[in-house]
Amino acid sequence: MKTLLLYASKHGATRNAAEKLAGQLEGEVKIINLQDKGSADVSVEDYERVIIGGSIYIGKIQKSISKFCETNLEKLLKVKKLGLFICCGEEAKALEQLAAAFPAELLKKAAAKGYFGHELKLEKLNFVSRTMIKKITGVKKNESKIKEENIKKFAEEMV
Ligand SMILES: Cc1cc2nc3c(=O)[nH]c(=O)nc-3n(C[C@H](O)[C@H](O)[C@H](O)COP(=O)(O)O)c2cc1C
């Protein structure tokens, strides 16, 4: 089964999670960072499985992801298997933020919906972002909490 795995990642957490997921999927997997490439040459209709993931900043998923979902909504609804995931720092709000990140039609269609944890590298952030993240998540030092078990479950649900 051919899989398209699209993601957006500001500091690398979602990229790490996407790469871990790709390693657990059977068959050919094409991974595209939507922020690097844009979506002009991405044809979802060429794939049986499509997986889309991004990270949450101030309550929202990256614009490149929401724009891609809006533009390709009809095509995504016809894909054989669809999976959606997020990375975010506030685990207690993960489901709520996932529900707000993707169009309702896609959430309804998705065979798998996942929260893949988060990573925080404070040295990569400017002062404003560092202050904001400490306030939002309470995290005060570097953290890597990618949820391996959630990625495994997601991969199984996408079979
Ligand atoms: C400025 C800033 C704002 C953030 N806002 C939120 C937020 O509103 N909710 C949340 O759950 N996590 C928030 N996070 C945490 C990120 O979603 C988390 O660090 C994630 O792993 C980043 O993934 P990425 O490196 O792939 O972009 C924020 C992080 C930063 C730096």
> pLDDT class for 77, splitting at 50, 70, 90?
very high
Cα–Cα dist 26/46, whole Å? 17
pLDDT digits (tens, 9 = 90+) for 88-103: 999 999 999 999 999 9
Helix (H) or strand (E) holding 31: strand 29-33
Cα–Cα dist 156/38, whole Å? 29
Q: 40 or 21: which carries more pLDDT confidence?
A: 21
> pLDDT class for 38, splitting at 50, 70, 90?
low
CATH number of 3-157: 3.40.50.360
Question: Which of 16, 21, 57 maximizes ligand 1 atoms within 8 Å of its Cβ, making it the mutation to test the pocket?
Answer: 57
Tell me the CA–centroid distance for residue 12 and ligand 1, in Å: 11
Determine whether the shortest distance from the Cβ of 64 to ligand 1 is under 6 A: no
CB 22 within 8 A of CB 47: no
Ligand 1 atom with the smallest distance to the CA of 93 is 11
Return the residue matching tokens 């595209």. 32
Residue nearest to atom 30 of ligand 1 (CA): 133
pLDDT digits (tens, 9 = 90+) for 49-58: 999 999 999 9
Return the residue matching tokens 């997986």. 51
Q: Mean of the pLDDT values across residues 57-64?
A: 95
Neighbours of 21 (CB within 10 A): 27
Residue 66: φ, ψ to 5° = -65, -35
Give domain limits for the chain.
3-157
Q: Is 8 helix (H, G, I), strand (E, B) or coil?
A: coil
pTM of structure: 0.95
What is residue 37's predicted lDDT score, i.e. its pLDDT? 65
pLDDT digits (tens, 9 = 90+) for 96-153: 999 999 999 999 999 999 999 999 888 889 999 988 888 887 878 899 999 999 999 9
